[in-house]
A = this chain, B = another copy of it.
Amino acid sequence: MPHNCYAWRVPTNHHDGGPAPTRLEGRATWLVSRAYTRSSGLLNAGFESHGGGLRGYHYRLLAALEEWGPASQADLGRMTRIDRSDVTAALTELESRHLVERSADPAHKRRNIVTITAEGVERLLELDKVIDGIQDEFLAPLTAAQRRQFITLVSRLVNAQR
């Protein structure tokens, strides 16, 4: 028995039975759903064991702040595709750990300016390493060339501005 009863349940895969119906196997939406399950499983496991309680939302926010500097919460939401309300909650968590700071915008009383702290940057860099490891694990079945191809194709898929 693991020392931590709440250790993240690494995908048990008790459903590792044979192939799915061919109706599903050939469909992009089904495959993407399975890829997402695998991806988020790995991420959850990583955040659980090396994330110190932070989650995807937190990482995304720290990344945006480090890359583009201080920003309002609404802008952060747009950059990271997180809903305003969820941004609020995640920032409160980050603030309580002193990884970011909120300060009122003098020019716009209704707006907060969020800044990443030195400690926050440090934390972000640690998470970067963890997440890079997860990329490798996730992409393990593909060769380097295939990985590049995959990333190109998925980018095109989700960035179709249409």
B31 touches A158 (CB 8 A): yes
What 0/1 readout, one digit per residue, does chain A (132-162) give for beta carbons within 8 Å of chain B? 0011001111100011011101111111101
With A78-B15, A79-B18 as known contacts, state yes or no: A135 contacts B35, CB within 8 Å: no
Q: Is the interface on chain A under 10, 10 to 19, 20 to 34, or 35 or more residues?
A: 35 or more
B141 touches A63 (CB 8 A): no
A147 cross-chain contacts in B, Cβ below 8 A:
28
With A28-B150, A29-B135, A153-B142 as known contacts, state yes or no: A128 contacts B23, CB within 8 Å: yes
How many subunits of this chain does the assembly comprise? 2
B153 touches A146 (CB 8 A): yes
Q: Which residues from chain A sit less than 8 Å from chain B, CB to CB?
A: 15-29, 31-36, 38-40, 42-43, 60, 63-64, 66-68, 75, 77-83, 128, 131, 134-135, 138-142, 146-147, 149-151, 153-160, 162
